[in-house]
Amino acid sequence: MTERAHGRAGPLLAAGMAVSCLAAPFYPMAVLVVGTAAFVLGHWRARATVLCLVAGASLALGCGAAALHGTQTLLIIANGSACALAVALPYTLGRHLDDRARYRETGWRLAWALDSRQRAVDAEARAAERAQIAAEMHDSLGHDMALIAMRASALEVKASSPAADPPPRADITRLRTAATEATERLHEIVSLLGAEQPRLPPELPEGSLTALIAEAESAGMVVHHDIDPSWCDPSEPRHALSHRTVHRLVKESLTNAAKHAPGAPVDVTVRRREETVRVTVGNPIPEADATPTAPASIPSGGRGLPTLAERIRVLGGHLERHSLDGRFELVATIPVAGAPSLTAPTEALDEDLEPDLHRARITRRRRRSLWALVLAPLAVLLCTLLLVVAVFTFTTVASVLAPDRFARIHTGQDQAQAERLLPPVEMHEAPVADEPTRDCRYYEESVSFFERVDVFQVCFTDGTVAHTATIPAEQD
């Protein structure tokens, strides 16, 4: 049931319980009905107005029932306190049980939310991994396509000469093999990106820089290289990321040179400086009116170098590009034992704290309801005890009738005149039972809390004093 329905049903239930209390022929049954109403209202978390109505109705019921039966004041207070206890204890119990149910429900909701968040994080991680795979495979495929274009352009140049011999069969075979490998690499990209759990292929990249340069030279590129053989140990796990990054940088540079400066010589230099490696790749910038030595190559995506620059930055290095004196150069400085930064953004921590805060708030509410379950009845009992002591003290002190005032009351005196001489309240526990035909009142001679003293009796009949007597203490 929703809380809006609770708000509508609460007053109706309170009204029904009040009617049941008034209609109950037995006082204990009425108290039971009131307690049930308080429990339901506590479980439904009814508004304070409804609870006050039920508590007021129960107090009026207890005090009214005691007064109608002619009960003493202390018993009236006891009845009212019993009704208040019948409201407080069931209400706090219902409230506590509702808090427990909400605590369990909140726990399941938090578990579901955390599971959903984890699924979202996993999906985001898979998307990022797919993007990384796409970037790496794009660079590798672009390099293969650039080499294919170089081989095809070389064959085209040979075939365009009138006196040229037919192209060697080995060159055509290498071109066909390169095209087949590029097609297989494209199929591999599609299968990897479409997998549920994509993973980087272990063979990407493989081989040394020397093998990479030799492959480019076999396609017709002119590469001058100066590589320090001690710059990196590929078998060292701490050097794996830097080796992979340098390999990608050289491959991307050769690919760009084949695309934008075909036929131009490329210079590759790799030197180690203490704990960093410096990679320099440069080539002459082709003149605008220069005769191209190769046909137009495949279009560039323009994302290779920015992706590499970001990767180098994450490893703790930096990448610079220079165009000076008709020459283009890439200069990268990379830590040999580079590792990506694992510092998470602080903004991501705020959302992770929300479930803990919510759980702590629900836990505090549950503890408060448990304390209320224990303290509410104790508070009612304490208030009842204090009220009983106060009323008992007041009635004991205020019910004293001085002997000289009692002597002024005589048989046949008008009731109004006699009542002006009497105290405002009677004593507790009259020593004798009243006769049905007379209205007798009892007052103590002096203040006595625990020991009975002489008691004065004044009885009225038909508006006059019918009888006065002194009841000695030893007769009680």
Same domain, 303 and 415: no
Q: Is residue 92 part of a domain?
A: yes
DSSP 8-state class, residue 239 = G
One-character DSSP codes across 29-91? HHHHHHHHHHHHHHHTT--HHHHHHHHHHHHHHHHHHHHHTT--HHHHHHHHHHHHHHHHHHH
Predicted pLDDT of residue 332: 92
Q: Is residue 190 part of a domain?
A: no
Same domain, 392 and 418: no
SS3 (DSSP) at 330: strand
Q: What is the rounded CA–CA span in Å between residue 433 and residue 429? A: 10
Please write the tens of the pLDDT for every residue from 441-457.
889 888 887 777 888 98
Same domain, 104 and 9: yes
Same domain, 285 and 373: no
Identify the bridge partners of residue 330 per DSSP, sorted by sequence position.
281, 321
Predicted pLDDT of residue 266: 92
Predicted pLDDT of residue 130: 66
Predicted structure pTM score: 0.40
Same domain, 368 and 463: no
Please write the tens of the pLDDT for every residue from 306-338.
878 888 888 888 999 888 888 899 999 988 876
Predicted pLDDT of residue 122: 75
Same domain, 81 and 105: yes
Q: Is residue 130 part of a domain?
A: no
* Nearest Cα to Cα of residue 329 among 288, 283, 286, 287: 283
Same domain, 22 and 84: yes
1 CA to centre of own chain: 24
The stretch 402-414 carries a mean pLDDT of 89
Same domain, 368 and 287: no
CATH number at residue 286: 3.30.565.10
Peptide bond into 205 cis (omega under 30): yes
Q: Is residue 212 part of a domain?
A: no
Same domain, 390 and 338: no
Please write the tens of the pLDDT for every residue from 152-197.
766 665 666 665 566 666 666 766 676 776 777 676 666 656 655 5
Q: Torsions phi, psi of 265, nearest 5?
A: -70, 145
Q: 309 lies in which domain range?
A: 222-344
Predicted pLDDT of residue 70: 45
Predicted pLDDT of residue 279: 92
Please write the tens of the pLDDT for every residue from 258-307.
888 888 899 999 988 878 899 999 999 887 544 444 444 444 555 667 87
Please write the tens of the pLDDT for every residue from 46-99.
555 555 555 555 555 555 554 444 445 555 666 666 667 767 777 777 777 877
Q: What is the rounded CA–CA span in Å between residue 61 and residue 54? A: 10
Same domain, 288 and 334: yes
Q: Is residue 166 part of a domain?
A: no
Same domain, 414 and 391: no
Same domain, 299 and 371: no
Q: Is residue 27 part of a domain?
A: yes
Q: Is residue 322 part of a domain?
A: yes
Domains: count for the chain: 3
Contact 274, 255 (CB under 8 A): no
384 CA to centre of own chain: 43
Q: Is residue 139 part of a domain?
A: no
CATH number at residue 458: 3.30.1450
